[in-house]
Amino acid sequence: MGIADKINKERLREHFEDLAKIGYISEKEGNIRLPLTPAERAAAELVKGYMESAGLETRYDQFGNLFGLLPGSDPEAKKVMSGSHIDTVINGGRFDGTVGTLSAIEALQTIKENGIPHKHTIEACVFLSEESARFGGGTLGSQAYIGRFKRSDLDRLKDKDGVTIAQALAENGFDPDKIESVKGDPSKIKCFVELHIEQSIILEESGIPIGVVDQIAAPTNLRLTIKGRAGHAGATPMWLRRDPFAAAAEIVLEVERIAQTIGKETVGTVGEVYVKPNAINVIPGEVVLGLDIRDVTYDRKQAAVKHVLDFAQEVAARRHVTIDVDMIVDLAPEKTNKDIVSLISATCDKLGINHMNITSGAYHDALNMAAITDIGMIFVPSIKGISHAPEEFTPFDDIFRGAQVLAEVLAELAK
Ligand code: GLV
Ligand code: MN
Ligand code: MN
């Protein structure tokens, strides 16, 4: 019997269901666990408890990332890392991030309980703020871990109420001035493997339960602040207006148009809009748009972003509004490591599980980890391809199968 047969299916199910209760609003409104809010912190403490019960050595870093260490027999050997995130989007589902987080812990617990020998230390990790829902940019915890943030970045990243991530960290007992200490040491890391739901429809449509990720698309997230002139909706003639919302509307449609035309894998979304003062009889004075443009090709993504920014300035000149650009996150796509891809595929073959190579349109913490180590990703199906919504669903048997593959892969990498 291999480690796959030793995974405690009921324990994994129980952990999954208990974590899903945190930040749960209703069937229609799903879950809300925005980073560094009480719900998300409660979820982190619950998961820390699971790590402790598994016998892992736990710690938070000063960015709120959570780690659980299972020491290997050779302290000099580089560590194998695995994990994901537990924050959600606004009105998100129960599966995004939690599946990979809990499966990594279950894998480590199974390895420990069964005394499976491993030279390499294995570390489960939960990265803070993988979602962009609060601070406008995603994968923040893993970006901090790979050393991409300076102290000043923590003042730059703000939520919609103007609370900076530095303030939110301090409110939760973390020290933003110690951002340097968060950085992981690449010379001590062998690899990072993340299990995740697919969030698209390819696996389900193909009837294949495991996706082996070969590349991960990357996002540019930016906010445009468009300022015009607030005024009376009845008394201001159309020729006198400087309406930032009408300018915003043009930009939103251009984001859609350029994404539809520039490349098959290019996607563009404006998912965040703040209109001030947001009153039916007031011409808005200011609008903030949150843009998300992604691609598997960096240059094409940059071309799409440049096109949108040039277009925005043209609209601004024509409509006599001003536009300020706040670049929040600008990442490059990454390929997963070929040897890890082969190992995941071979593991599926060994377990008699059908698998296929797949591209990730969603981003993940693995995208950042690729900058400092070899990465691999395992996908399990998402029913109807729905994610970032309360209807997000993956059958538990698929999650369990994913956890089995992950455990085998981690045990092999840590051998
Ligand atoms: C992360 O969840 C993303 O937006 O891809
Ligand atoms: Mn997500
Ligand atoms: Mn996710």
Share of the chain above pLDDT 70, in %: 100
pLDDT band of 2, cuts 50, 70, 90: confident
**Ligand 2 center to 318 CA (angstroms):** 37
SS3 242: strand
Residue nearest to atom 2 of ligand 1 (CA): 131
**Ligand 3 center to 199 CA (angstroms):** 9
Return the best residue to mutate from 131, 296, 301, 331 for the ligand 1 pocket (most ligand atoms within 8 A of CB): 131
- The pLDDT tens digits of the residues spanning 61-97 come to 999 999 999 999 999 999 999 999 999 999 999 999 9
Prediction pTM value:
0.95
In ligand 1, which atom is closest to the CA atom of 387?
2
Share of the chain above pLDDT 90, in %: 100
**Ligand 2 center to 179 CA (angstroms):** 24
- The pLDDT tens digits of the residues spanning 208-220 come to 999 999 999 999 9
Q: What are the E-state strand segments in 198-342? A: 210-216, 218-227, 231-232, 267-276, 282-283, 286-295, 322-330, 334-335
Q: Counting ligands in written order, which one lies closest to the CA of residue 388?
A: 2
For the beta carbon of residue 42, count every other beta carbon within 10 angstroms.
15
Q: Is 363 in the pocket of ligand 1 (CB under 6 A)?
A: yes
Q: Is 362 in the pocket of ligand 1 (CB under 6 A)?
A: yes
Q: Is 208 exposed, middle or buried (0-12, 13-18, 19+ CB in 10 A)?
A: middle
- The pLDDT tens digits of the residues spanning 300-333 come to 999 999 999 999 999 999 999 999 999 999 999 9
Average pLDDT over residues 35-47: 98
Per-residue burial over 156-190, b if 16 or more Cβ lie within 10 Å, else e, is bbbbeeeebbbbbbeebebebeebeebbbeeeebb
Q: Is 131 in the pocket of ligand 1 (CB under 6 A)?
A: yes
Q: Counting ligands in written order, which one lies closest to the CA of residue 85?
A: 3
Residue nearest to atom 5 of ligand 1 (CA): 362
Return the best residue to mutate from 200, 220, 265, 364 for the ligand 1 pocket (most ligand atoms within 8 A of CB): 364
1 has pLDDT over 70? no
In ligand 1, which atom is closest to the CA atom of 89?
2
**Ligand 3 center to 83 CA (angstroms):** 11
pLDDT band of 345, cuts 50, 70, 90: very high
In ligand 1, which atom is closest to the CA atom of 361?
5
**Ligand 2 center to 145 CA (angstroms):** 19
**Ligand 2 center to 216 CA (angstroms):** 13
Q: What are 371's two structure tokens?
A: 């900058």
**Ligand 2 center to 79 CA (angstroms):** 26
In ligand 1, which atom is closest to the CA atom of 132?
4
Query: SS3 sequence, 107-176?
Result: HHHHHHHCCCCCCCCEEEEECCCCCCCCCCCCCHHHHHHCCCCCCCHHHHCECCCCCEHHHHHHHCCCCH
Decide if 33 contacts 95 (C-beta within 8 A): no
* Residue among 301, 149, 289 at smallest CA distance from 216: 301
SS3 261: helix
- The pLDDT tens digits of the residues spanning 392-402 come to 999 999 999 99
Length of the chain (residues): 415
- The pLDDT tens digits of the residues spanning 213-250 come to 999 999 999 999 999 999 999 999 999 999 999 999 99
- Non-local CB neighbours of 71 within 8 Å, separated by 6+ positions: 57, 121
Q: Counting ligands in written order, which one lies closest to the CA of residue 98?
A: 3
- The pLDDT tens digits of the residues spanning 115-169 come to 999 999 999 999 999 999 999 999 999 999 999 999 999 999 999 999 999 999 9
Q: What is the C-alpha to C-alpha distance for residues 84 and 12, in angstroms, rounded to an integer?
A: 15
pLDDT value of residue 299:
97
**Helix 98-113 with 38-53: angle, nearest 10 deg:** 20
Mean pLDDT of the chain: 98
**Ligand 3 center to 179 CA (angstroms):** 23
Average pLDDT over residues 22-41: 98
What are 276's strand-pairing partners?
286
pLDDT value of residue 297:
97
- The pLDDT tens digits of the residues spanning 189-214 come to 999 999 999 999 999 999 999 999 99
pLDDT value of residue 51:
98
